[in-house]
Chains A and B, each alone.
Chain A
Amino acid sequence: SQTIHQWPATLVQPVGSPLSLECTVEGTSNPNLYWYRQAAGRGLQLLFYSVGIGQISSEVPQNLSASRPQDRQFILSSKKLLLSDSGFYLCACRAGSSYEQYFGPGTRLTVT
């Protein structure tokens, strides 16, 4: 079964600073990868998904971007963080024919 790694685990960044969150997957190949955000007291919001290297679909227009430079690597970035970017960022993986998704441990981002 797959294992999903995310880092860093926690991050405190000032408004206007850049962001780079990384997600890597082990134990599977050619997975679908997803970035979600969970703001305090709210549900999971799908931000981006990728079905393959270099293929990114955006679900919500915002100041975030995603890239998939390798099959099992998914990166979430921002050039300038906003206060509203604070939240719990989760990377998820779907492999094979099942629709089930499995999550990494998440990155808790606080923008100050």
Chain B
Amino acid sequence: RKEVEQDPGPFNVPEGATVAFNCTYSNSASQSFFWYRQDCRKEPKLLMSVYSSGNEDGRFTAQLNRASQYISLLIRDSKLSDSATYLCVVNLPQQAGTALIFGKGTTLSVSS
């Protein structure tokens, strides 16, 4: 089983749509979870951390289900500028240096 799995997409949605991305992770001891955003040919940038109780940042909502080892990201009222690849990220707690494991990403394309 891959350590972090995401649906690669692409997700093609019109402006204003609501879109949800899902992610599963294999290491039940992971404690830290993130969503990163990566624009074409650019570095990944931290979008938001994911907390156990769920958290919201404007149009973005992240949820964590530890029992199912499942993470989600919901984007409401999609904008053209949301077009990017979204990376699901978890930590590997056993390793010194606290490495992060990145999913391969889900590509979102928002059209007018």
List chain A positions with a Cβ less than 8 A from chain B. Answer: 32, 34, 36, 42-44, 46, 49-51, 57, 59, 88, 90, 94, 99-106, 108
Contact = CB atoms under 8 A, between A and B. Distances in A.
Contacts of A101: 46, 100
A102 B34 CA distance: 12
Contacts, number: 51
Contacts of B91: 99
A83 to B, nearest CB: 20
Given A103-B45, A104-B43, A106-B43, A32 B98 contact: yes
B44 A43 contact: no
Contact of B96 (A44, A57, A94): A57
User: Could you tell me the dominant secondary structure of chain B's interface residues?
Assistant: loop
A108 B97 CA distance: 25
A100 B34 contact: yes
Nearest to B31: A99
Given A49-B97, A106-B42, 7 more contacts: A32-B97, A32-B98, A46-B101, A49-B99, A57-B97, A102-B46, A103-B44
Q: Report the 7 A-B pairs with minimum CB-CB distance, sorted nearest first.
A: A43-B104, A103-B43, A99-B32, A49-B97, A44-B102, A99-B91, A106-B43
Contact of A90 (B32, B43, B46): B43
